[in-house]
C-alpha cells in the first residue's frame, strides 16, 4: 500500500514537471501587436482557422513598422498551441518617421539580422523576418520566411523601404 502511494506521488510529480516544462517552452507565443484577424474556415470545436494581421517594430531602427499577415490554424490544436500553422504569409513594412538606427549603428552593419521570430508549431517550425540593406539603392528590405530544423519552406514575402534620409 505504501509503495503504491509513493508510485502515485512520483507519477503525479513527473506529470506536473513535464506540464511546467511544456507550458514554459511552448505555452506562450511571442506575437507582435494583433491588429485584427479574419476567419477563413469554420471549426466545430475550438477557434476557427484565420488569417491574422500583426504589427511589430524594428527594434534596431526607429521609424520602421512591419505588418505580417499569416495563416493561423484553429481547432482544438490551435487553441492549446499544438497545431502547426501553414507556411502562408504576407509582409509589408512602412517608414513611420525618419529612419534612425539605434545606438549609433550603421544600416550596413544591421544587414542580415533577425527582426522578428515566432514559432509556427509546437516544435521545430518558426516564422522569421530578417532585415537587409541595399547600399546601391539606399533601401532597407525585409524578408519573411518559414523555417524548420530539417527543411524550410520556399514560401516567402518581402517588403522594402526607401531610405531617403537617415538621421
Q: Per-residue pLDDT tens for 128-148?
A: 899 999 999 999 999 998 887
Q: What is the pLDDT of residues 40-57, one digit of tens each?
A: 888 888 888 888 899 999
Domain ranges of the chain: 1-29, 31-162
DSSP string, 62-104: EEEEEEEEEEE--HHHHHHT-SPPPS-EEEEEEEEEEEEEGGG
Is the pLDDT at 125 greater than 60? The verdict is yes
pTM greater than the 0.75 cutoff: no
Is the pLDDT at 59 greater than 80? The verdict is yes
- Measured CA to CA in angstroms, residue 53 lies from 2, 104, 146 at distances of 56, 31, 16
Amino acid at each position: 500500500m505504501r509503495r503504491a502511494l509513493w508510485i502515485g506521488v512520483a507519477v503525479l510529480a513527473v506529470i506536473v514537471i513535464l506540464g511546467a516544462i511544456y507550458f514554459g517552452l511552448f505555452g506562450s507565443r511571442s506575437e507582435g501587436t494583433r491588429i485584427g484577424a479574419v476567419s477563413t474556415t469554420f471549426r466545430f470545436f475550438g477557434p476557427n482557422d484565420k488569417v491574422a494581421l500583426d504589427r511589430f517594430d524594428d527594434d534596431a531602427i526607429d521609424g520602421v513598422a512591419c505588418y505580417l499577415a499569416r495563416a493561423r490554424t484553429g481547432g482544438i490544436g490551435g487553441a492549446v498551441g499544438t497545431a502547426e500553422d501553414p507556411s502562408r504569409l504576407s509582409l509589408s513594412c512602412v517608414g513611420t518617421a525618419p529612419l534612425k538606427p539605434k545606438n549609433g549603428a550603421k544600416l550596413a552593419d544591421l544587414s542580415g539580422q533577425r527582426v522578428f521570430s515566432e514559432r509556427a508549431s509546437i516544435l521545430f517550425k518558426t516564422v522569421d523576418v530578417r532585415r537587409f540593406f541595399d547600399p546601391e539603392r539606399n533601401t532597407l528590405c525585409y524578408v519573411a520566411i518559414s523555417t524548420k530544423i530539417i527543411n524550410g519552406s520556399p514560401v516567402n514575402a518581402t517588403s522594402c523601404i526607401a531610405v531617403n534620409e537617415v538621421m
